[in-house]
Structure formats: C-alpha cells, structure tokens
Amino acid sequence: METQSVIQIKNLTKIYRDFWGRKKVRALNSLSLDVKKGEVFGLLGPNGSGKTTTMKLLLGLLFPTEGEITVLGKPASDVSKNEWIGYLPEESYLYRFLNAEETLDFYGRLFDMSPQQRKERSNQLIELVGLQNARKRQLKEYSKGMTRRIGLAQALINNPDLILLDEPTSGLDPLGSRDMKDLIVKLKNEGKTVVMCSHLLADVQDVCDRIAILYAGELKELGRVDDLLKEQHETELLTSKLSPEAVADVEAVLAKHNAKLLRHGHPTNSLEDLFLKTVQKSQERPGQRFVPAASEKS
Amino acid sequence: MNFDAKPFLLFSNIENGLMHWLLVFGSFIGVIFAASILISVGIYGVSGPVAVMGRVRQGLHDFLNLSPKRIWAISWLTIIEAVRRKALLVFVVFAFLMMFAGWFLDSDLRADLQVKNAVSFALTTVSWLTIPVLLLLSCWGIPEDIRVRSIHTVVTKPVRRNEIVMGRILGFATIAAAIVAMMGIVGYVWILRQVPNNASLICRVPVYGTLQFLDREGNASDKGLNTGDIWEFRSYIEGGTKASAAYKFPVDAPVDRIKLESRFEAFRTHKGRMGQSLLVRYVLVNPTKDLRVPLDSFEIKEFNLNEQYLERKLSFYDEVRMDKRTIDLFDDVVDQNSLTIEVQCLDSGQYLGMARPDFFIRLPDRPFAIGYFKAVLGIWLLTVFIVSIGVTSSTFVKGPVATLLTFSLLIIGQGFREFMIKLITGVQKGGGPIESWYRLVTHMNDTLELPDNIGIKIMQGIDNVMLGGLWLMQHLIPDLTSFVMAPYVANGFDVPWNLAIFRSLAITIGYLVPCLLVGYYSLTLRELEAK
C-alpha cells in the first residue's frame, strides 16, 4: 500500500530578488520531492545549497517563485496546517526575556491550550530536554546548547505530527547531540514524521530513513540512506580476531573466487561512542580516573 | 479661556458620522483593491485577479476566525517584553519630575493661575512622558521580532497575522493604560498638594449655546466688529447702540434657578469713568411670543468671571406694556427648549468682545477628580491611537522609519492640520510650494498678482497637483486636537463626553479598523525575513 505523503514539493523554484525586483540569487531550482508519513527525512547539502530555504518555504515564511508545495494536504500558505507542525529554527530565535516555563506557556497559548494542558505539557517537555534546573532562568542566560533544548521543547509543545528541524544538533555537545538523535528516533517510533536539514553527515546517517542531497539549489541525490551508502561491488565481513596465518588463508580462499582482500585490521569505534562511554563511566563512578596521571606513568 | 470645544454630537448625528466614515473607508478599500487588480494583471496576467480575490477571501476567513486567546497571548508577550525591558522606568522619571516641579512653578501668581499651571504641568508631563515611550515601543516591536527572527517561532504556529497586529496593539494599549493610570494618580495627589490655601479645584459643567451677532442697526451678522484685537476667535459689539450678541442655549428640564457665567473682554476707545468697568445688560428673548425681558445691568469684571443667577420667577418692567410683570422663565421665556439671551454693552463708545465659549449656563459642579481623570483618559486614547499607527506602520517599514512616520502624523494632526486646510482652501495666501518659491526668489509679496504667462500657468498647474496631494493628506490625517483635554481641566471645566471623549474614541476606532486591515495584509504579503 502506498504510504501517505506528508509533504509534496513539485518544481519548486525560489529566486531572491533585491529591492528593485532584480534577481539576486536562485536559491532553489525545480526541486521536486515527497516526504512520507512516519519517516525521518534528511535534507543535506553544503552551506547555501537551499536546505533552510526549502524549510522556510514549507512553513510559509517564504513564498515560492514557481512550483507547488503541499504540507499535510494543505498549501504552505495555509496557517491552519501549523496546528500539527513543530518547527525548530536553525538558530533558536526565542524571546530572550522569557524563562523556560514562560516560553513554553506562551507557545502553548498560541495553540489555544488550556492552562492545565500548558502546565502539564511544559513540565513534560522541560524534563524531556533536561532543563529542570534552569526552568526559571531567562533565556538570555542560557548557553547555546540550552537554547537549542528549549527551542526543541517549543517545537514539540503541540505534540505535532510533522516536525521540521533545521540543524537540530548545531550547538549541542556530543551528549546533547546523542539525546537529540535518540529523541528523533523516539518521535519516529511514535509515528511522527521528521524532516531535518543538516550538514553534519554523521547525524543524518544515524537517524534518517531517506535523504535528499542539494547542491546550489538543485536536487542531486534522493533515496534511502542504506541504498545510497551501499557499495554494491564490495562485501564486508566482520570476524573475531584473526591470526596473520588465518588472514593469509582467507586471502587464499578469496583468490579462489576471483576476489581479493582490500583491507583488514581492527575495527574502530567512532569518537562519539568513545566520548559517550567515557562520560557515562564518569557519571557512574564520579572521582575515578580512567587515564593514569603523568606522575603515575613515569 | 482661549479654547473652544468643537461641536461633535456623536449620538445625535451618529448616522452621518458613520456614513462619512464608511465613505472614506470604502473609498480607501476601493482604491487599494482596484490598484491591486491592475498591478496583479500587469505582473501575473489573467491569473492575477484570481490571486487577489483569493487573498480577499483568506482575509475575510482570518478576520472571522480570530482567537481571543491567541490575541491575548501576543498581548501578554508584549507586556512582559516592555516590563522586562524596563519601559516602566519612565514612571521613575515622572516621579522625579513631580518631586521637584513645585520649586519651579511660580508661587507669586494669582491663586487660580497657580492651580491652572499645576494642572497643566501634571497632565502635560503625563502626555510627554507616555507618548514617546509608547511611540518607540510600538514602532520597534514587530521590526525587532523580524530582525532577530523570533517572529518565525510565532508565525509557524496557528497564529494569524491579524492576531499578531491586534495582540501587539492590545498589549501596548494595556501598558499605556498602566503607565497613564499610575502617573495620573500620582499627578492628582501632587496637584492636591500644590493648590494654594485660597484656591480650590473646580470642575464646572458648562452648557454652551450658539452665538449670533446683531450690528449697530440691529441686523443679524455672523461676526461682530473687528477692533484689531483677536479677530478669528472673538469679535466685538459697540456699546450704546442696537448691537448685541444673542446666545441661544439648549435647556432641558425646568429648575428653580439657572446660573450664568461669562468672561467678556472690553475694548475701550476712551477711558470712561475711573474705577468703573463697562456696563452690560442681559435681555432674555422669546421670539415666538415677542417677549423681551431686560435684566438689571451690571459692571463686568474684566479678566475675571461674571456670575449671575436667573430665578425661575422673574419680575421686570415691560417696556412695551409699560407695566411691571412677573413671568415664569421656563413657561414664558424658554422657547422650544431654547433660552435666548442677548448681551448688550450700555457704554457708548466702548466695545465688548465675546466668543461662543465666553458665556454659558453653569450646571452644578462635578468633583475635580472626574474632570481630571477624563483628561487622563484622553491621554490614554491618544496613546492608543499612536500605538495603532505605530504598530501598523512597523509592519511594512523598519523601526526608525515607522517612528518617523508616526511622529510626523502626530505633529501634523496636532498642530499643522489647520495650516494644511488653509493652504488647500486658499485662505493662506502665496500659492503652492513652487509659487511660494517663485515669490521668494522674485521678492513678490503674496498680495501681488503674478504675471499672466505660460510659465506661471505651468507652475500653478504643478502646484495644484501638489495641493491635491495635500487635500488627500488632510482627509487621511486626523484632527488630534480633541485628544488634548488638559485645557478643559486646567481652566476649571469638566471634560464633556460628547465633545471630547466620544470624539477621541470615535477617531481612535475609526483609524483602528483600517490599521488592522493594513497591518494584516502587510504582514501577510511580505516574507518575514530580516533584510
């Protein structure tokens, strides 16, 4: 059965013009793509490739020069679609004079939520993003990471069906970044659709089902992450530790099948994994040193 | 007294007022709509008008589906923003001024003038401190939101653009109410402490009439004589002749006695008797019954108030019947709910000057606080007007330009509108801008005829186009003088609901509606990106 499209973009072109109406830059050129319900979709591309422009066009913050956009079955300019959308902007453009509770209460009011609903939802989200100890502090006193967290909380205030995240891990430390990615996966598991744009490829690879790669406003690649990354002409084997003799035997067997061993060695963890393990151990055993001190080494 | 409340009979003339507003508002909408259709055809061809109609339909939908909760949320944000950005510190400035203002107000003046100065100072200070703060807040709020893109997190919620404009206006109006109320109360207490022992705070309730002059032959005339003194506001009747000024006052239910109060000006052509002022007489007139009731003459108090009482039962010598008569003021003199009183100057060779508000029936006084807080309400209404214009202009231009635009409107509306009308109607001599420039360069004063040639005709043609623009402007820019109610209170009068409060309220609402419309479409049709 065909999965329902949450976002449909057809031949979308956006040209930025100057005050006199002269063309300044073509930010998007004939972009067409669909985002299906329940998937995590990544928009990738270098700076200036049109990711944020696409996101703003989806939200009706910018108007298309040409083409059509349908979000949740409604035109992008229709305000009523926003009832089911959550948006985390690239920078967390929040009101710096409000504290976390006031911020969430304010955005809750914009959804006509009752005071009780707002209070419950604010408490849930503050806990979710880990800002319990800073709930009464004005946002101007927040670090960038904390601002991203409260930004995410405001995007989720209405328990949206479609969540648009613009550079969601930007400004977050590896721990925060991991939390964000875990949250995205959790949202997907709850049946929500997530569209994120990022130039941090590892983040996208970790969480996205499908991606689109943009360059200079044009769509260059579109498909499932696994499919796009799969090397069709190579095979990967992962074994327990092999002796040099065993490696030589493997090479002999491969030669029999007209194949050769391209690379062998010990697999490495990602730096992110190492960092997270170290932090986790530190939390479990505070005060314990994992690396010998300089004096102990000597 | 040097002010004259302009008649504005809202409730008796509400249909005319509403029709006039609908005409202007309808024309405004019509012109914008026609221009939009033409421009859309020019840019998008046949699909242009369809898109315009789509926007109109969307606008109607958005205005019919407003959410009071969302509007109040935006207002709440506006209030919190103003408070956290320390806008209320203006109150500290006010308190500081009030602490030391007494040192600088002249305590050697006559007691009533001291009261007048104190009241004027308090109310003027409230206006001058509140208006700039609200002007800046309202003109910078939305542009700042767009600049730092915090508006992105609002418009990506189910918030309609008109809710943003309304919320902002409501929020700023609430802040203005808080500031004005606090300052008003402190100002009131300060005034009470400033009143000298030999003076009191009064709040007279006048009933003004219409004024008709009769010249020395007894013929009706719109104006009296011009003595070279104030001519536009006040004119004069000649003493010892048939010249008089007939005041026609509206009178409602009968009362036991009526208090009359006047303040006439004397213009002397000779000294007269030393120590004696001009002799004046009131004559009650009922034209229907051909009844003339001359009252006892009295000497006017120059530069001060004359107070007389009209008893319901009046005895007088009837010069026609040659007999003493007693009449009932309401049964015999009042004609069709109008009381006509002629004022005559009895000193020949002397002149008595008067204007419409120089003579009135004085109803029982009200507490001073009522008049004072009505004037405070007037200041608040003016700030609401400014906030509406400020927020609206900030939806299509940046903060500094919006501030300049709103400030210009305020200045023109309060001080230069009359001048614009004089220029348009030709009362102000010297022609349009190019003719004025030509006269300056060629040293021609404004009474000299210009030469009759093609160059002059072209110049006057261009001037006429410019004056046409000015004509349009004076229809768009409101008369904001009615918001200034301090003169009423400072001069010891109550602020009339019909003449001042309702008038200001009507102007505010009259402008608020198009402001909401312009603000809505301005935010809807633009991309909310900082540029």
Query: Number of helices (H) and strands (E), helices first, in chain A?
Result: 10, 10
Partner-chain contact B153 A94, CB within 8 Å: yes
Residues of B in contact with A62 (CB under 8 A): 527, 529
pLDDT level of residue B5 (50, 70, 90 thresholds): very low
**Domain match, A90 and A35 both:** yes
A186: domain range?
Answer: 5-229
Q: How far is A151 from chain B (nearest CA, A)?
A: 9
Q: Report, as an integer, the average pLDDT of B191-201.
A: 85
**Domain match, A225 and A240 both:** no
pLDDT at B362: 93
| Cβ atoms within 10 Å, residue B322 | 7
pTM for the structure as a whole: 0.84
pLDDT score of A86 more than 50:
yes
pLDDT at A228: 75
**Domain match, A133 and A242 both:** no
**Domain match, A172 and A257 both:** no
Domain presence at residue A298:
no
Q: What is the DSSP string of A104-166?
A: HHHHHHTTT--HHHHHHHHHHHHHHTT-GGGTTSBGGG--HHHHHHHHHHHHTTT--SEEEEE
Q: Report, as an integer, the average pLDDT of B406-426.
A: 85
Cβ contacts of B151 within 8 Å, gap of 6 or more = A93, B142, B145, B164, B528
Q: How far is A203 from chain B (nearest CA, A)?
A: 24
pLDDT at B179: 92
Which residue in the set A109, A138, A158 is minimally distant from B70, CB to CB?
A109
Q: How far is B520 from chain A (nearest CA, A)?
A: 13
pLDDT level of residue B378 (50, 70, 90 thresholds): very high
What are A40's strand-pairing partners? A194
Q: Position B49: which residue type?
A: P
**Domain match, A108 and A76 both:** yes
pLDDT at A291: 63
Q: Report, as an integer, the average pLDDT of B273-296.
A: 86
Partner-chain contact A106 B155, CB within 8 Å: no
pLDDT of B155-177, one tens digit each?
A: 999 999 999 999 999 999 999 99
Partner-chain contact A61 B527, CB within 8 Å: yes
Q: How far is B150 from chain A (nearest CA, A)?
A: 4
Partner-chain contact A56 B529, CB within 8 Å: yes
What whole-number percentage of chain B has pLDDT above 90? 45
Residues of A in contact with B398 (CB under 8 A): none
Last residue of a domain, one of A229, A245, A275: A229
With CA atoms as reference, the chain B residue closest to A155 would be B153
pLDDT score of A54 more than 80:
yes
CATH of the domain at A18: 3.40.50.300
Structure token digits, residue B295: 């009252």
Q: Report, as an integer, the average pLDDT of B518-525.
A: 93
pLDDT at B467: 87
Q: Position B461: which residue type?
A: G
With CA atoms as reference, the chain B residue closest to A64 would be B527
Cβ–Cβ pairs < 8 A, chains A and B? 76
pLDDT at B3: 46
Q: Tell whether B77 is within 8 A of chain A (Cβ).
A: yes
Partner-chain contact A98 B80, CB within 8 Å: yes
Domain presence at residue A273:
yes
**Domain match, A49 and A179 both:** yes
Q: Tell whether B159 is within 8 A of chain A (Cβ).
A: yes
Lowest mean pLDDT among A266-280, B71-85, B402-416: A266-280
Counted domains in chain A: 2
Per-residue three-class SS string for B204-236: EEEEECEEEEECCCCCEECCCECCCCCCCCCEE
**Domain match, A24 and A76 both:** yes
Domain presence at residue A296:
no
Domain presence at residue A183:
yes
Q: Tell whether B42 is within 8 A of chain A (Cβ).
A: no
Last residue of a domain, one of A204, A229, A254: A229
Partner-chain contact A109 B69, CB within 8 Å: yes
Domain presence at residue A254:
yes
Which residue in the set B69, B77, B158 is minimally distant from A95, CB to CB?
B77
**Domain match, A204 and A144 both:** yes
Last residue of a domain, one of A229, A259, A275: A229
